[in-house]
């Protein structure tokens, strides 16, 4: 009797937790500008949800428990993909972008529960079962490494400040939103051994943006960065900076800092005063305690060009 009550209690607790996590798929959580560590930790909720879901099914749904392991895999994969893709599509209505990585984490949670909790898996040989479990644990540890790496770089960024990015550590490139257009290079550098090689494409706008960095710039007088232009022709780019209020105000062009810069052949030492930045938004002062984006871009290039960025720092 006591065992039955404990099972029912466990069942209701699991059901409550599943509903709670399901709600969090659509409400709360990180936004675009949240720290990378917060985003990575939050994403692990997909693994947790599907691990708990299939643990629940394997414990309390007799039809699923009675299936052979191969059928549990098949039906479980169908359920995971159907609900996982559905969640991603519904999240669009809550101003969230679908992520393929979330589907992978859903599948990882399902496999984790199945491999460690299914009774039917005992039909596997001990040798293959060990290999399967070790493989699942490897991928699980890989997922947990992303928040750890993010936390390490956030600590490094705080220690480096007022240097925003010097590219001397391999994790710094992830502070930038650049896709595959930015990578560390030893070909040119103004400080240390590394700089960032940046490819500017022929899109209408092509550039990079520093998204993850300490936000409070109020105790500094200028922003400095070095750019090497290996071409023999000057290259015009636009530098942009905005604060949190700019995001709240609908991200109007006139509500941020914009400055056209000509990159001459060779090294260019760019200095922008904090006074310029603060007075840039039309009708207000930029909030120097809540800077959320620094970047630059070229527009309508006739061909792809390469530049090198280094020593982005406050002075």
**Mean pLDDT lowest for which of 16-25, 213-222, 283-292, 301-310?**
16-25
The C-alpha atoms of residue 262 and residue 258 are separated, in whole angstroms, by: 13
pLDDT in tens, 152-194: 999 999 999 999 999 999 899 889 988 788 999 999 999 889 9
Domains of the chain: 2-157 (no CATH), 164-314 (2.60.120.430)
Mean pLDDT, the chain, rounded, equals 89
User: Under a CB-based contact definition with an 8 Å cutoff, are residues 126 and 72 in contact?
Assistant: no
pLDDT of res. 268: 95
d(CA 87, CA 17): 17
Reported as a pLDDT band with limits 50, 70 and 90, residue 6 is: low
CA-nearest of 128, 85, 127 to 106 is 85
Q: How far is it, in rounded angstroms, from Cα 74 to Cα 68?
A: 10
Q: Is the pLDDT of residue 310 over 90?
A: yes
Give me the residues paired with residue 306 across strands: 199
Cα separation, 296 vs 119, whole angstroms: 56
pTM for the whole structure: 0.79
Give the tokens for residue 149.
């790496």
Residue 206: strand pairing partners: 298
- Condensed to tens digits (0 to 9), the pLDDT of residues 240-252 reads 999 998 988 888 8
């Amino acid at each position: 009797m006591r065992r039955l009550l404990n099972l029912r209690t466990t069942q209701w607790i699991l059901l409550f937790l599943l509903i709670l996590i399901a709600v969090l798929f659509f409400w709360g959580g990180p936004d675009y500008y949240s720290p990378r560590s917060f985003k990575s930790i939050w994403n692990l909720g997909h693994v947790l949800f599907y691990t708990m879901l299939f643990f629940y099914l394997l414990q309390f749904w007799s039809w699923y428990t009675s299936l052979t392991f191969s059928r549990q895999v098949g039906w479980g994969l169908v359920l995971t993909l159907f609900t996982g893709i559905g969640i991603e599509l519904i999240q669009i209505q809550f101003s969230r972008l679908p992520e393929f990585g979330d589907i992978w984490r859903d599948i990882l949670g399902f496999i984790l529960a199945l491999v460690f909790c299914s009774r039917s898996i005992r039909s596997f040989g001990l040798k293959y079962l060990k290999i399967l479990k070790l493989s699942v644990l490897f991928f699980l540890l890989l997922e947990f490494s992303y928040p750890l790496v993010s936390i390490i770089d956030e600590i490094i960024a705080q220690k480096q400040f007022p240097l925003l990015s010097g590219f001397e550590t391999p994790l710094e490139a992830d502070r930038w939103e650049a896709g595959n257009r930015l990578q560390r290079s030893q070909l040119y550098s103004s400080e240390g051994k590394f700089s960032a090689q940046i490819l500017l494409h022929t899109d209408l706008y092509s550039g990079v943006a520093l998204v993850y960095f300490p936000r409070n710039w109020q105790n500094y007088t200028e922003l400095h960065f070095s750019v090497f232009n290996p071409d023999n022709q000057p290259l015009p780019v636009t530098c942009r900076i905005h604060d949190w209020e700019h995001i709240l105000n609908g991200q109007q062009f006139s509500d941020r800092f914009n400055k056209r810069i000509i990159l001459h052949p060779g090294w260019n030492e760019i200095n922008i005063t904090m006074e310029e930045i603060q007075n840039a938004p039309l009708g207000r002062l930029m909030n120097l305690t809540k800077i959320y984006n620094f970047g630059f871009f070229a527009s309508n290039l006739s061909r792809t060009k390469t530049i090198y960025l280094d020593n982005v720092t406050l002075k």
